[in-house]
Amino acid sequence: MNWGIFEGLLSGVNKYSTAFGRIWLSLVFIFRVLVYVVTAERVWSDDHKDFDCNTEQPGCSNVCFDEFFPVSHVRLWALQLILVTCPSLLVVMHVAYRKAREKKHRELVGENGGHLYLNPGKKRGGLWWTYVCSLVFKAGVDAIFLYVFHSLYPKYTLPPVVKCHAAPCPNTVDCFISKPSEKNIFTLFMVITAAICILLNLMELAYLVSKRCRECLAARKARATSTSSYKQNDLLSGDLIFLGSDIHPPLLPDCLQHHMKKTSL
């Protein structure tokens, strides 16, 4: 598979990502895609051919291999990397859609007719939700695949010898896995990098949500300040109207003023 296509498509994500997103993208391509392409495919290329069982029964080795390796590590990692990188492509497509709308709006109303988006790549409105959903999806996919790997291969490790008693094996036979130590090293490496990617996604999600909450609180505080200042200006303008007129405003109601005159008399 040509992973350079994904690298070219996702290179533009850096322009719309935060610092956590840039670190995540570098980690994915350097420590996951590059390791997968250069080493992992070669390490697992001979897993079926070198899976030996101490029996001459036809079909026993194939059945035992399928029982212990229901899904190949390489194919699971390929599917995981494809699903993890696809949400970032949705962010790029959303930005391209915004730019196309802005260009069409400019053609209709002219250069002085205003803008639909001041900055199409700024994470506001729908683009913010697209970006946040992509983070949740990426973290969820990595977490699900870690669970699947742990379910298929407990503790993410491969034993050098496995016991198999599936038909058509005549009895319980011993099967030997090729290069188990090397495969365990690469499996743990991919698991650790996936866990770090999950942590980076959660940190970026917390950063974006906290930043949006701070902006909302600041906007609400600014509106409250402007409202109070507007009310003060109204009161001051009313006082100035009374000061500029010859008729002074009554300090007390008319009935109270008449009662006070009688008592004084």
User: Tens of pLDDT along 215-226?
Assistant: 888 888 888 887
CB atoms within 10 A of CB 49: 8
Please choose, from the candidates 93, 123, 88, the residue with its C-alpha nearest in 3D space to the C-alpha of residue 14. 88
Q: Is residue 236 part of a domain?
A: no
Confidence at residue 263, expressed as pLDDT on a 0 to 100 scale: 44
Strands 173-176 and 52-53 come out as: antiparallel
Task: Dump pLDDT digits (tens) for 6-20.
Answer: 555 666 677 778 888
In a domain, 192, yes or no: yes
Start-to-end C-alpha separation, the chain: 108
- Across the strands, what pairs with 173? 164
Does residue 239 fall inside a structural domain? no
Q: Which two tokens stand for residue 226?
A: 């402007």
Q: Judge whether 162 lies within some domain.
A: yes
Residue 164 within any structural domain of the chain: yes
Q: Say which amino acid occupies 165.
A: H
In a domain, 259, yes or no: no
Q: What is the pLDDT of residue 203?
A: 94
Number of domains present in the structure of the chain: 1
Chain centre distance of CA 214: 20
Would 233 be classed as within a structural domain? no
CATH number at residue 14: 1.20.1440.80
Expressed as residue numbers, the domain containing 111 is 3-222
Tens-place pLDDT, residues 184-200:
888 899 999 999 999 99
d(C-alpha 149, C-alpha 154), whole Å: 8
Please indicate, yes or no, if residue 251 is contained in any of the structural domains. no
Tell me: cis bond preceding 168? Omega within 30 of 0 counts: yes
